[in-house]
Structure 1
Amino acid sequence: MSFLRKLLSGQNPATTVADYPTLDAEEQELLAMVRDTVSRFRDQSIQGDVHDRQKEIPDPVRQGLAELGLFGLLFPEQVGGMGLGMRAYMEVLRSLAWDCQSTATLLGGHLSLAGRGLLLFGNEEQKGRWLPVMASGECVGAFALTEPGAGSDFRSLRTKAVRVEGGWQLNGNKLWITNGSEAGMFLTFARLETAEDGLAAFLVDASSSGVQVGRPEDKLGLNGSNTNPVDFDQVFVPDRDLLGQPGEGFKIAAEILNRGRAGWAGTCLGASERALHEARDHAAQRVQYGHAIEKFGMIREFLAEMASDVALLQAFMDLTGGLGDAGETELVLESAALKIFATEVQFQSADLALQIAGGNGFSREYPYERLLRDARVSRIFEGTNEVLRMLVAMLAAAAGKQGWQGQGSWAAPETLAEAWHPHWHKLYPESERLHQEAVALAAKHGKQFRMAECDHRRLADRAISLGVRTATLLRLAAEPDFAAAEAVRYGLLRQERRYLQVETEAQAPLDEAMEQAVRGLLQEQTAALR
């Protein structure tokens, strides 16, 4: 059972995640080396503003990514990959997204969607044929699922796969395909001949006769990343390129997305850190009414909110990635919750940074407007946040049906400093109330619970907040200095005030926590965020 499911059923997270998935010394050294190498390459070779204007990632950047081995980051060493895990993948995207979210998107579509499908469901022959050329960057992967009439509801796919001698014939239209222009392989999903047969997944060679890639979409953001419509007109796919078994397409797509969407949190974190960095520097330098604007209360509150969100997001991301690397396979709930929280932190951070920058934020001469444009799609792709909230609520209700296993309170982790205990002791009663609400809502709506989306939102948001706060406190128990304590405390108080309906008189300590957070932030060196 997953960490969040246990949490929602009353089991003490200090015992269900007794050993927070921290890295040993060798793993820390390797991850630091990867992060430093990627950061140096980014600073020397990537120009996010130029790639955005030119609407492409130039060949030298792609070649550099290949030379660093990043196209094979998640693939086994025996096929030419680096053999690294989820946390390393998140950190690479985090570093790239500091300057160019489009470059992070290129790798994400290749590794976490197309590549992950092969890793999870490919047979040895398929892996041996495709993974070496994908690891080298010679073949870029793309994930061809979305259609004009099928987005989050991919059961509605209309692309057809018909059995022919020696293989299958595909006909249909795909939309919003990341890496469409440069793909050498499309992991493509199609409906079999009858509805009862379900869906199937195919590894389609992009050079196959009948594969037609349309011109790149003219998008709001992520302009360096190509997104294209792709048509399949009587495309023959040999039997050897059927991924999994006929009828397993839905399971394959769901598994890829459920595992893959968590990785995007790295991009969200990197972009949020960049937004905070730019906003902090501008607030220190911009003088109005005789004072740097960092002295004004509302600006200080904006900065503290951004810093606290970054700290909490890092804790939740590292826990989820660490659990995945430790072998936890049931992370559907965590991945959905993390994707929602990360993408909304990203957009809020970009929006607040632009507001702090004022008129400069609205100009293309500065990075603020690009950060905002690039952030907007994060709440849409790999499952809209509305659909994912429905998923989180449904899983919370399913956990409720298993019964409450709480014992009246949760003992705090032995290594958690006493100053954090008041926050810890709020978790158990909140978990119990959430459990009771999930059970009551499921009983109230019965079979119609799936359509009770307003209740889904409230239930999901409280479950996500509970998970974020718990992950943060577990991280503090394992690594007390992982982030500035003032920012963490302010973040916890903000979450508690929002979701625990704290009375008005609790505002004073919240205001004081905000001041402590922003004072600590403004004293830091700018380089610390990089």
Structure 2
Amino acid sequence: MAVDRLLPTAEAHDLIQLTRDIADKVLAPIADAHEKAETYPDGVFATLGEAGLLSLPYPSEWGGGDQPYEVYLQVLEEIAARWAAVAVAVSVHSLSCHPLMMFGTTEQQQRWLPDMLGGNTIGAYSLSEPQAGSDAAALSCKATATPDGYRISGTKAWITHGGVADFYNLFARTGEGSRGISCFLVDKNTPGLSFGKPEEKMGLTAIPTTSAHYDDALVDSGRRIGEEGQGLQIAFSALDSGRLGIAAVAVGLAQAALDEAVAYAKERTAFGRKIIDHQGLGFLLADMAAAVDSARATYLDAARRRDAGLPYSRNASVAKLVATDAAMKVTTDAVQVLGGYGYTRDFRVERYMREAKITQIFEGTNQIQRLVIARTLAGS
């Protein structure tokens, strides 16, 4: 079901329609097959890039779409409603452009941003490590300054698009403590950089998630983004935006599950009536719809604060928490609506439920979101 959207401009309405056309004609017809076979969708991101959908929240002077974040997130939601794995990768790509856009020098921006925003190159974000997920200050991957550049050694984990992306935002240790982390823009062909085999995930299987191994890899000093020791500031500023991206993806996924459940409930009959007309099931569907609508309103509120230049870090955590918990509940209830059929792979809702789970984990677990929210309350 197409969502009636309140958009700020006629251009935004056209952009949503373009996104729906591409999502319906390019993504939806192949999503099931790629997810089932766990195969990468070659050409999909080039198509999205050509349509300008990989650069929406960035300035036009660098090849971006100059769209407010509230519009970009609704585009992301539309993509997620057809194929969550692709939407997550789009969100991660946007996240990966953030450090260069916000902290890079003009020379660095001129060198790399046009290709990044034009869709010619796809980015990945490598912050987590095998023993450092939510605790980013515990990173151990090390970057040692030398006359030739930085020598990097260590392992990064849980990289969306790992091994496929063209560039990687790497956060590595250049000093001690939380102020000893620096950010680097690493090319995929860097000697000494290799990738582990894709993780065997319960969902989002068409887009690989891998580890990355740096074996004395040499990275030119001109690829350091920001100052030495500024890495965590850069990482956390990007994560606020990234959490909104995951919130939008979660809402798109929940909307897709709701649509499947409603369509099934309108067709299936029991005791002489369509099952949607039975109050017990009708109320369940109503609660699902309320959860989707509420989650959407929450991420849009945070996005509008971001667009207005207001503080939005707490709101981003609230949106991520509310939207992803809603997605988990709605997709689980969609399986319940379909009954035994919902538990089979003949229907998409079981995949939606598997995919929803990861949204509660990445870009900061929902326990971390609660911690962020609680700290803002304690400090208010």
- TM-score, normalised by the number of residues in structure 1: 0.68
Please identify runs of 4+ aligned residues in structure 1 that moved more than 4 A. Answer: none
Letter in 1 for 2:350: E
Output one character per residue of 1:397-419: Cα deviation in whole Å (capped at 9) or x when no partner: 111xxxxxxxxxxxxxxxxxxxx
**Conserved 8 A contact 1:199-1:247:** yes
State the distance in 2 between where 1:194 and 1:201 align: 15
Matches within 5 A, 1:237-256: 237-256=219-238
**Conserved 8 A contact 1:75-1:131:** no
Output one character per residue of 1:62-93: Cα deviation in whole Å (capped at 9) or x when no partner: 22112101222223212222122211221111
Structure-2 residue corresponding to 1:414: none
- TM-score, normalised by the number of residues in structure 2: 0.95
State the distance in 2 between where 1:82 and 1:386 align: 34
1:277 Cα offset (Å)? 1.0
Matches within 5 A, 1:475-514: none
**Conserved 8 A contact 2:179-2:232:** no
Q: Which runs of 5+ in 1 are unaligned?
A: 1-21, 400-530
Instruction: Tell whether 2:245 aligns with 1:295.
Output: no
1:195 Cα offset (Å)? 3.8
- Pick aligned residue for 2:56 from 73, 76, 100: 73
State the number of aligned residues. Answer: 373
Structure-1 residue corresponding to 2:15: 34
Which has the higher Rg, Structure 1 or Structure 2? 1
Structure-2 residue corresponding to 1:341: 322
Q: Which runs of 5+ in 2 are unaligned?
A: 1-5
Matches within 5 A, 1:203-222: 203-222=185-204
Q: What is the percentage of aligned positions where both structures have the same residue?
A: 32
Instruction: Tell whether 2:99 aligns with 1:117.
Output: yes
Instruction: Tell whether 2:149 aligns with 1:185.
Output: no
SS in 1 for 2:162: coil
Matches within 5 A, 1:394-473: 394-399=375-380
**Conserved 8 A contact 1:166-1:238:** yes
1:196 Cα offset (Å)? 7.5
**Conserved 8 A contact 2:175-2:181:** no
State the distance in 2 between where 1:265 and 1:48 align: 21
SS in 2 for 1:247: coil
**Conserved 8 A contact 2:182-2:230:** yes
Structure-2 residue corresponding to 1:236: 218
State the distance in 1 between where 2:178 and 2:130 align: 22
Instruction: Tell whether 2:71 aligns with 1:88.
Output: yes
SS in 2 for 1:207: coil
State the distance in 2 between where 1:394 and 1:213 align: 37
Matches within 5 A, 1:257-268: 257-268=239-250
1:167 Cα offset (Å)? 1.9
Instruction: Tell whether 2:376 aligns with 1:379.
Output: no
Task: Quickly say closer, same or farther: Cα 1:196–1:396, change in 2 above 3 A.
Answer: closer
**Conserved 8 A contact 2:298-2:322:** no
Structure-2 residue corresponding to 1:358: 339
State the distance in 1 between where 2:354 and 2:151 align: 39
- Pick aligned residue for 1:49 from 28, 32, 37: 32
**Conserved 8 A contact 2:55-2:65:** yes
1:174 Cα offset (Å)? 0.7
**Conserved 8 A contact 2:299-2:320:** no
Structure-1 residue corresponding to 2:3: none
Letter in 2 for 1:311: D
Instruction: Tell whether 2:269 aligns with 1:272.
Output: no
State the distance in 2 between where 1:258 and 1:241 align: 23
Output one character per residue of 1:151-188: Cα deviation in whole Å (capped at 9) or x when no partner: 00011111011110032111000111011121111100
- Pick aligned residue for 2:302 from 312, 320, 332: 320
State the distance in 2 between where 1:207 and 1:57 align: 20
**Conserved 8 A contact 2:46-2:120:** no
**Conserved 8 A contact 1:180-1:229:** yes
State the distance in 2 between where 1:179 and 1:116 align: 17
State the distance in 1 between where 2:117 and 2:229 align: 28
Structure-2 residue corresponding to 1:162: 144
Structure-1 residue corresponding to 2:91: 108
1:234 Cα offset (Å)? 0.8
SS in 1 for 2:43: helix
1:197 Cα offset (Å)? 5.5
1:225 Cα offset (Å)? 1.6
Structure-2 residue corresponding to 1:305: 287
1:296 Cα offset (Å)? 2.3
**Conserved 8 A contact 2:246-2:363:** no
Structure-1 residue corresponding to 2:109: 127
Letter in 1 for 2:34: H
Q: Which has the higher helix share?
A: 1
State the distance in 2 between where 1:174 and 1:70 align: 28
Task: Quickly say closer, same or farther: Cα 1:119–1:173, change in 2 above 3 A.
Answer: same
State the distance in 2 between where 1:239 and 1:355 align: 54
Task: Quickly say closer, same or farther: Cα 1:197–1:303, change in 2 above 3 A.
Answer: closer
State the distance in 2 between where 1:67 and 1:251 align: 32
State the distance in 2 between where 1:56 and 1:390 align: 37
SS in 1 for 2:163: coil
State the distance in 2 between where 1:213 and 1:125 align: 29
1:193 Cα offset (Å)? 4.2
